[in-house]
Amino acid sequence: MGVDLFARCRDYEVARAARAAGVYPYYQAFSGPCGATAVLDGRTVIMCGSSDYLGLAADPRVIRAAQDAAAAYGTSRAGSRMLNGGTPLHAELERELAAYAGMPDALLFPTGYQANVGTIAGLTGRRDAVLVDAEAHASAYDGAALGPGRAARFRHNSPAALDRLLAAQSGDAARLVVVDGLYSMSGESCPLPSMITTCRRYGARLLVDDAHGFGVRALDVDGVDLLTVTFSKALASVGGAVLGPPEVIDYLRHHARAEIYSAVAPPSSVAAALAALRIAAAEPWRGARAVAAAAALRAALISMGHAVPPGTGPIVSLPMPDLPATLAAWHGLLAAGVYVNPVVPPAARCSLRITTTAAHTDAHLATVVAALAALS
Ligand SMILES: Cc1ncc(COP(=O)(O)O)c(C=O)c1O
C-alpha cells in the first residue's frame, strides 16, 4: 500500500485552527450586491476588500445590460467560442477594449487568470524564457510553469535585476518579460518606462498585466507589446482579455489552450463589462475618486506612524508583523464595521489590503481611518 493522497488534507491544520479561534477570514457569504458597503451576517460593513474600483458592480446601467443580454442570448453558449461561437457582444467588447487601451486588437478569455495563463503558455516555445517580476500575480507564474519554456523571476520592480537576467539568457532564446501595471497586494506601480527600455535593449517582448489599473487610470502603452486585463475589477464583471498586435491575437486564438478548451464567457458577463467600459470612458472622475481616496488613506496611515508602500492606485497595503497579528487586525476592523483583505503567505508578505472605490463617501473613509487608528 502506498501513502494516502488525502493524508495531507487530514493534516492541514491552519484553516481549522483559525476557525476554532473564530478568526477565519475567507469564503464569506455576503447578502445583497457588492458596493461601498456590503451585508455580512446581517450587519452592514464598509467594503474595503473588493476591487470594484469604479463602484459599478451594483450600477443599474450595468445590471440592465447584463439582464438584457441574458434575455437576448440566454445564460450560456454551452461550449467553447472556437466551436460554438460567441455573440456580437463578444466581438464588440474586443473592439472597444482595444480602442480604449490604444492597442491594435484583443482576444477575450473566460477570466483574467486564463488570459495570463493562456497567453504566456500559448505564446512561448521550448527554447524561450519567461522572466516574471517577483511580485507578479500567480497567473503569470502559472502560465510560465505551464508553458514549455524556462521560467525565471527577477527582483520586484528592479530594471537592473531584469537587465542582468536578460543578459544571462542564451542568444537563441526568445524572451517574454511579465510585470503587473499595478501590484495587487502592495498597491505599487511598475516603473514601466525603465522596464520598456531594458526589454528593448535585449529585443525582449513585454507583457503588462494591468488587472488593477485598467479602467481606473490611463496607461501609456507605447512600448508595451501585450496587455492583459480583467473584467473582475473596474469592469464590474468576470472575464479577461489579452490586447496586442493582430497577428499575435490570431495566433493565440489558435494556440491559447486556456481559451480554446474552456467555455466562452456568458453574454451577461460580456454585456456587463461592455457597459462598465463605456461608463469608465465617459466618467473618468470615478477612477480619479478611487485613487484620491486611497491617497488620503495612505497619508492617514503614514501620519499614524505606519510604513505604507508608495502607491498610485486604489490599493493601500498596511504591513503586518505575522499571521496572528494579521488575523487579529482583520477581525478588529470587521468588529468596527470595516471589511478588508487579510493577506498572508504564500500570496504575499503579511499585510492588510485595503481598497477604495468611487462609491466610498467621505463619511465611509472617515470611519475607516478611525477604525485603523483604533488598531494601533
Ligand atoms: C494582477 C492580477 N492579474 C490577474 C488576475 C486574475 O483575474 P481574474 O480574477 O479575473 O481571473 C488577478 C486577480 O486577482 C490579479 O490581481
Judged against a pLDDT cut of 90, whether residue 168 lies above it is answered with yes
51 by Cβ neighbours in 10 Å (0-12 / 13-18 / 19+) ranks as buried
Stated length of the chain: 376
In-domain check, residue 201: yes
With a 6 Å cutoff on the Cβ, whether 211 touches ligand 1 is yes
32: containing domain: 14-47+284-375
Concatenate the DSSP letters of all residues of 71-100 into one string.
Answer: HHH-S---SBHHHH---HHHHHHHHHHHHH
How much is the average pLDDT of 273-295? 98
CA dihedral 277, 282, 288, 290 (to 10 degrees): -50
How much is the average pLDDT of 246-258? 98
Per-residue pLDDT, 348: 83
The domain boundary residue, chosen from 282, 309, 340: 282
With a 6 Å cutoff on the Cβ, whether 163 touches ligand 1 is no
The pLDDT tens digits of the residues spanning 86-128 come to 999 999 999 999 999 999 999 999 999 999 999 999 999 999 9
How much is the average pLDDT of 290-294? 98
The CATH number given to whatever domain includes residue 288 is 3.90.1150.10
Whether residue 323 sits in one domain with residue 174: no
With a 6 Å cutoff on the Cβ, whether 37 touches ligand 1 is no
Judged against a pLDDT cut of 80, whether residue 40 lies above it is answered with yes
In-domain check, residue 245: yes
With a 6 Å cutoff on the Cβ, whether 317 touches ligand 1 is no
Kindly give the distance from the C-alpha atom of residue 211 to the centroid of ligand 1, in angstroms, as a whole number: 6
The CATH number given to whatever domain includes residue 227 is 3.40.640.10
Whether residue 349 sits in one domain with residue 212: no
Kindly give the distance from the C-alpha atom of residue 331 to the centroid of ligand 1, in angstroms, as a whole number: 25
Per-residue pLDDT, 1: 86
Q: Rounded CA gap, 106 and 101, in Å?
A: 10
With a 6 Å cutoff on the Cβ, whether 232 touches ligand 1 is yes
In-domain check, residue 155: yes
Cα 263 from chain centre? 21
Average pLDDT score over the chain: 96
Whether residue 242 sits in one domain with residue 125: yes
Q: How confident is the model at residue 345 (pLDDT cuts 50, 70, 90)?
A: confident
* Tally of structural domains, the chain: 2
Q: How confident is the model at residue 211 (pLDDT cuts 50, 70, 90)?
A: very high
Whether residue 271 sits in one domain with residue 294: no
Max CA pair span of the chain: 64
In-domain check, residue 55: no
Whether residue 273 sits in one domain with residue 134: yes
